[in-house]
Chain A
């Protein structure tokens, strides 16, 4: 997927002024935040459970080579094939090769962010293979030629009227606007594609080392269809998604759906191991797994390593005041919100995603809700430091910071300047103590008034209150 993160500021501003998007984001916040809180009531001790979950993920990262090799050996023992991909181009090459090897003309896909990351659909289409997205949200996006704006609810930015328009235009059926009717229409349109497909592509929420299995969590059933009916199943996932055992994954599954959508469990959890046996009546004849690096291994051993614990629940974005205000598209790549603000610069390069580590108020909500204890604000701060060290920030900002640092090291000068500033702003505030337009900060005062200082600095007040 193309990286358009350099347009972050412009897109954020556009999205803030987009009423329909603002309503949609309000809905997301209402539903997902509340549902998660309620679902966690079910667990006796969330803090301890996420401690255990983080430990499982960290242990696996500590021995990533061991568990990947064990996983590979188990897949091979069960008659499957494991492929390793350095980057997105390698994934594209592999998928096209697998399709050719099995003469696959028609592909159905279940939702997978890694395949978005690697633009798998474009590569298959260029090779003359028909690709259908089958998750309802992803299917709508495929019709609209848009990228996802949320990793769990990819089409959160659209309302039912948008979907009705798209369906009427593409399905040549009478336009319907009921949500249940739209869902049924998508089912009826997509069912023949499942039945006719030669190859199914899925992601994997986890791959399990002890059994060589790919695990997918889904609600719609499209993931099951795409991995049961076609002759070939290809699971594509990041190298960091491995976990040691079935019991480990059982623990993680208590947190993933609750954190994501507030469900105690998703409708379907499918653990898929190898191709079908000689006497099986259904299932794919060929089972391939593509393990994708694409920048992940470079994070190991660095301050950003905890990011690899991520289980892609989306709780950080659901709770982020910045994501809630600007939506996912502004972030310019597959992964939005706080996890994207760390992952995108880490995987595509800091220079390509200069605004993302700064797209945070550092309120810390993301770190509080993360089910695997990723210290997201700390990681964003690390990236901010690196930006500055690599001279990636705009010259004005660097100059301003240097000026401030110069003043801050001279206490008398600093006291003088802040005293002047406090008085000036106090005057600007007038009788009501509110500033309607602030010079150099018009963006801030465009939406609200700036409360004016009382006229004296903290240091002045402190000195005045010292006992003599």
Chain B
């Protein structure tokens, strides 16, 4: 296989005449997001079938989330990120275990590293306190996102990640609504292998 590496690279180099690596920056106009990133984020997230609540205080967020689950006859038992373990779940009437998700968990509660206004997208970073499976295996995914963590574009999200983390985590997941498929007759169906619904609760503090 070392031979394969050498011969592939040799074939590539045969025709690459050592052009300068320096790049002339390309400027391409990007979508106008308006002044209000929160409004853009909420509109876009809803357009991609996420439910959005808030912004509310953190205490209110937990009770609103419980109400959301109740209204839809969803269980009040959930798995959550260890990072969120110390929140006052019991007061909101929720029974929550802090760990990675299992195949039979029905509700998963995560935070989010940031939100992206351009597309109404959540950005989640995996880690010991923030396992990726919580936003993936359960049928309902709830994400708590401080409203001040909404950035304009994906490029801004990368810049924020570079500022706050020495290196990329194992998994960066951008999530834009519930999982979906259009494989059968190009008909969009919500809920494929991941969550059937995504609730974003925007919070005012943190």
Contact = CB atoms under 8 A, between A and B. Distances in A.
A119 interface: no
A76 interface: no
A27 interface: yes
A219 B192 contact: yes
Interface stretch (A10-18, A222-230, A438-446, A455-463): A222-230
A349 to B, nearest CB: 17
Contacts of A44: 29-32
Contact of A137 (B5, B173, B183, B194): B183
Nearest to A272: B171
A228 B31 contact: no
B154 A280 contact: no
Interface string A60-77: 001111101100000000
A24 B177 CA distance: 27
Interface string B89-110: 0000000000111010000000
A86 interface: yes
Contacts of A31: 182, 186
Contact of A300 (B11, B101, B184): B11
Given A66-B21, A183-B192, A228-B136, A273 B31 contact: no
Interface residues of B, number: 70
Contact of B186 (A27, A48, A65, A213): A27
A303 B185 CA distance: 38
Contacts of B128: 277, 279-281
B171 A264 contact: no
B163 interface: no
A182 interface: yes
A424 interface: no
Interface string B57-98: 000000000000000000000000010000000000000000
Contacts of B119: 264-265
Given A44-B29, A65-B13, A297-B11, A250 B173 contact: no
Interface of A: 24, 27-28, 31-32, 42-45, 48-49, 51-52, 55-56, 59, 62-66, 68-69, 78, 83-86, 90, 94, 134-137, 140, 153-156, 158-160, 163, 179-180, 182-184, 187, 190-192, 194-195, 211, 213, 219-222, 224-225, 227-229, 239, 244, 246-247, 250-251, 253-254, 261, 264-277, 279-283, 291, 293, 297-298, 300-301
Interface of B: 1, 4-5, 7-9, 11-16, 19, 21, 23, 26-32, 44, 48, 82, 99-101, 103, 119, 121, 126-128, 131-133, 136-137, 153-155, 158, 167-187, 189, 191-195
